[in-house]
Amino acid sequence: MRLKIPRATAEELLNASLTEGFALMHRVAGEHAAAVKAGRWDPGKDRPAREALLNEWYARTIAQVGSIFPTEREAYEVIYPPNRGLSAVSGDYEWQSLMLNVREKLHALRGVIDNRLRAYTDLPLRLRLYVEDIESFQKVRDVNPAMVAGRLRDGGYLDMPEDQVQIALEQILDVPFHKKDWGGESNDLYTSNIVLNGSRIASAFLLKGNGLRKATMEIANCGKNGDQILRLMEGPAQLFVVQFVGEVSEAVIKDVEGKVAQLRAAGRDACFLIMNGQDTARVLHAYGKLS
């Protein structure tokens, strides 16, 4: 059976819920301790109010688990966590029971993340991916376009040489060998270090920097005869990345999409990623490569 959403996205969402749950438990526990110390804790009023906050998080989490997994098993594992032998002791028994119940549910949610995601087949790769989909670029998810707007001119042009972009990507992907640029190569960067949906994937890059001196890259700009995309697709890769420091024309995108679709029709696993100037800036900024 397959997950309902990509595994990388599911893992990110569930970990965010787990972190939110721990933060909420820490907050209400602190409020309880401070109120008890000050003699202001009213169990009949204050406990139900905190319980409502926890239940709100809990309901959203269960709904999220249900939106990810194809069966109800994982939701039930969080709803009915196994008894680990913990129990409330002296003092405010109802408050301690509430905190223990939350801890058990957090423990069960962590178990779902660690043990259940890998039990299902991931969604098949979409034809076109985006930088946020690549686990090796996962830090880019925290970089929105506004954060790099000051580095872009003319609405989206990153004034950076191709070699500088290539070196930055090699460092991000831990590629030990710097490939020198020459006119007849099939790709500018080739690596199997990219991780996608939990697995390494052979990837070939076509890179274009500010040497093109154009705001938009057209097919004619891809090699002397406009055949660089064709040569890129002939390589032994599954992921084909076309990167430019400005805008990538719709004609280029359609050409890449059509060639990748042909590879799929021939039985090859293939997908593509377009990185324009904005996405290039976001990835480099996310990994401290945008000086």
For residues 159 and 153, the answer to whether their CB atoms sit within 8 Å is yes
Does 88 score more than 60 pLDDT?
Answer: no
**Where does the pLDDT of residue 104 fall: very low under 50, low under 70, confident under 90, or very high at 90 and above?**
very high
Taking Cα atoms as reference points, which of 164, 188, 163, 190 lies closest to residue 176? 190
What's the average model confidence in pLDDT over 191-217? 92
Whether the pLDDT of residue 202 is over 70: the answer is: yes
pLDDT at 19 over 70: yes
Q: What is the mean pLDDT of the chain?
A: 91
- Determine which of 91-105, 117-131, 166-180 has the lowest per-residue pLDDT on average: 117-131
pLDDT tens per residue, range 38-58: 999 998 999 999 999 999 999
Instruction: Say whether pLDDT at 125 is over 80.
Output: no
Q: What mean pLDDT comes out for the span 131-139?
A: 92
Residue 288's pLDDT band, with cuts at 50, 70 and 90, is very high
> Distance between CA 4 and CA 2 in Å, rounded?
6
pLDDT tens profile 63-75: 999 999 999 999 9
